[in-house]
Amino acid sequence: MSIITETKIAKLGEKVLRKKAKKVKDVKSEETKKIVSLMLETLKKSNGVGLAAPQISISKQIMIISSKPNSRYPNAPIMKDLVLINPKIIKTSKGKNKDWEGCLSIPGIRAKVPRYNKIEVKYKTLENEKKTIVFKDFIARIFQHEYDHLIGFVYIDRVETNKDIISEEVYFKTI
């Protein structure tokens, strides 16, 4: 792959969002570091709380969770940026809850999506260390949303009824 120097968010309808992303083979490579750097930069500019590599048109199993209050998610909890490479869900809670989500790849829309309340995940760090972590509530929701991008899904695929989809303009009037 040639090194990308500029990114734009892939939008719904672009094939990369419907493909299963490839595992990262050389986690410590310069290419992987460059992808993560571009993802972090893109995330900062976009006011997102998470981003998956397919969203910048790179079909690799890399995601970043970056929860901070911002204009799109004013009540988001604060956490340090977390880079997850080749993540996998290894355990889920029985319970799910439905809550609002948005997506940088589907601007202008919000939808209520059922997600597990708690998940256990294994992944690799940029240093190629194997880690296991438990996510709860909003952070678990972010992970599941970004994980969907790695398996060729988008959040509206998980919506139970079309009444759970609204414009972002209406959404911001209700919160």
CATH T-level fold of 15-174: Peptide Deformylase (3.90.45)
Query: How far is residue 115's CA from residue 169's CA, in Å, rounded to a whole number?
Result: 23
Q: Say whether 146 is catalytic.
A: yes
Please identify which residue in the block is written with the tokens 């719904």. 12
Query: How far is residue 149's CA from residue 61's CA, in Å, rounded to a whole number?
Result: 9
Would you state the structure tokens that stand for residue 57, as one six-digit string?
């048109």
**For the chain, where are the alpha helices, taking DSSP H only?**
30-46, 137-150, 168-174
Cα separation values, 98 from 5, 16, 141, 158, 161, Å = 37, 27, 10, 10, 12
Condensed to tens digits (0 to 9), the pLDDT of residues 75-99 reads: 999 999 999 999 999 999 999 999 9
Condensed to tens digits (0 to 9), the pLDDT of residues 12-34 reads: 999 999 999 999 999 999 999 99
Indicate the pLDDT class of residue 122, thresholds 50, 70 and 90: very high
Active-site residue, from 6, 146, 160, 168 = 146
Residue positions forming the annotated binding site for Fe cation:
103, 145, 149
CA-based nearest residue to 48, from 146, 126, 173, 157: 146
In 10 A of CB 42, how many CB atoms?
Answer: 19
Residue positions forming the annotated binding site:
103, 145, 149
